[in-house]
Amino acid sequence: MRKVTIKLDIRIVMSVDEGIEISEVVNELDYQVNDTTTAADILDTEITNYEVVDSV
């Protein structure tokens, strides 16, 4: 079996309490990537970058 690393760009829309830093929320996000084919095992995942596009 070979180790494969894939970079994903993820867009998330969320409602955030006033006064909270977005970086604090992003650093604590719980996320899971699952292979439904059962042909691969996910060894690790990581959010490597994010950008605040809009804050209303």
Kindly state the DSSP code that residue 24 receives in the 8-state scheme: H
The encoded tokens of residue 35 equal 């292979």
Q: Which residues contact 45 (CB under 8 A, 6 or more apart)?
A: 31, 32, 33
- What does the alpha-carbon distance between residue 44 and residue 39 come to, in Å, rounded to a whole number? 16
> How many other CB atoms are there within 10 angstroms of residue 1's CB atom?
6
pTM greater than 0.85 (yes/no): no
Domain boundaries, the chain: 1-56
pLDDT digits (tens, 9 = 90+) for 19-50: 999 999 988 988 888 999 999 998 988 888 89
Q: How confident is the model at residue 8 (pLDDT cuts 50, 70, 90)?
A: confident
- What does the alpha-carbon distance between residue 46 and residue 32 come to, in Å, rounded to a whole number? 10
Is residue 18 pLDDT above 90, yes or no?
yes
